[in-house]
Amino acid sequence: MECYNIAYSSVFARFGAWRPPHGEDGLSLAIGFFDGVHRGHAEVIREAVRIGLSRGLKPAVLTFDPHPRLVLGQDPERVRVLTPLEDKIRLLKELGVRLVYVIEFDRDFAGVPAERFVRELLLPMGVQTVVVGFDFRFGRGGAGDAETLRTAGDGRIDVRVVGPVVADGVKTGSSEIRERLEAGDCEGAARMLGRPYEIRGAVVGGDGRGRQIGFPTANLSLKHPYVLPRNGVYAVVAQVADKGPDRPLAGVMNVGVRPTFAGGDNAPRVEIHLFDFSGDLYGREMTVSLRHFLRPERQFASVDLLVEQIRQDATQARSLLRDTVAER
């Protein structure tokens, strides 16, 4: 799959006609930020792929990075995403997309009028079909919508709008998925995503407390600013780089500040104890798939009580994950 970054200055802030780098192929293009690439997003993207294949057009996606809220002044610590760009591109490829354009979102781009976006970006790209979600907005102040695409395209762009996808009786959306993760509802988030929620990072050294109490943990330094679930303990399935694609590892994950130990951190840590595994994981990349919320994080009166609770957590997680790991 081809992927191109597009800077604002390369299209809107210089003289001369801009030409896309992919050649002269016509495009069937899905447009959106697509955080999560959830079931609603997947319907938009699959429609663009279906139209592209049926009409001899290249199935493509136009997305944005970084998150618009980050550029428009929100606290960076509060702007977290479900699927950082690297993960998003992988998921788009799995959906059949052959070409991805990534607009480098900055304040100048945020000020581009919707009509100009169509005339100076989409039309020169050779876009013949655009597919968007029912709530799609674009351009300065979010003034553009599907009808703007049609009128500014001057009849040269066929615009398709995909309706909402419902899960658990509500519209599937990135905000709804965040709410479920913040409540510890892994299963609800997975139903909206169409897959379990995943986070990824490198295993780094810790203070060794888990090993001291008989439950060694891998401390995960997240590679991207992922949305973190509610503080607590989870049954998880992990995949470790260099361990082969067919060896999922079951375990328990703690997200939180470890209140039982004095001098705990204010920032939450992500720690994973893998069952039936021994070896050095330091420096390796680990992908962790959240399957079940077991309990909230809490402070224990003694380390012995904590150890007993971890044993119970591990027993429960093994039972919940038995079939999941066996199927892989």
Question: In terms of C-beta distances under 8 Å and separation of at least 24 residues, what long-range contacts does 276-281 make, across chains too?
Answer: 276/249, 276/250, 277/249, 277/251, 281/203, 281/218, 281/240
How far is the C-alpha of 276 from the C-alpha of 245, rounded, in Å? Answer: 17
The answer to whether the pTM exceeds 0.85 is yes
Where helices occur in 33-125 by DSSP H, the ranges are 39-55, 68-71, 85-94, 107-110, 114-117
40-85 pLDDT, tens digit each = 999 999 999 999 999 999 999 999 998 887 787 765 556 789 999 9
CA distances from 258 to 242, 264, 297 (A): 30, 6, 8
Domains of the chain: 2-163 (3.40.50.620), 196-327 (2.40.30.30)
For residues 5 and 104, the answer to whether their CB atoms sit within 8 Å is: yes
Residues in the chain where the model's pLDDT stays below 50: 245, 327-328
How far is the C-alpha of 88 from the C-alpha of 91, rounded, in Å? Answer: 5
159-209 pLDDT, tens digit each = 999 999 999 999 999 999 999 999 999 999 999 999 999 999 999 987 777
Name the active-site residue from 120, 271, 297, 308.
271
How far is the C-alpha of 68 from the C-alpha of 35, rounded, in Å? Answer: 11
| Per-residue pLDDT, 188 | 97
Is 308 labeled as catalytic in the residue annotation?
no
Residue 42, classed as helix, strand or coil, is helix
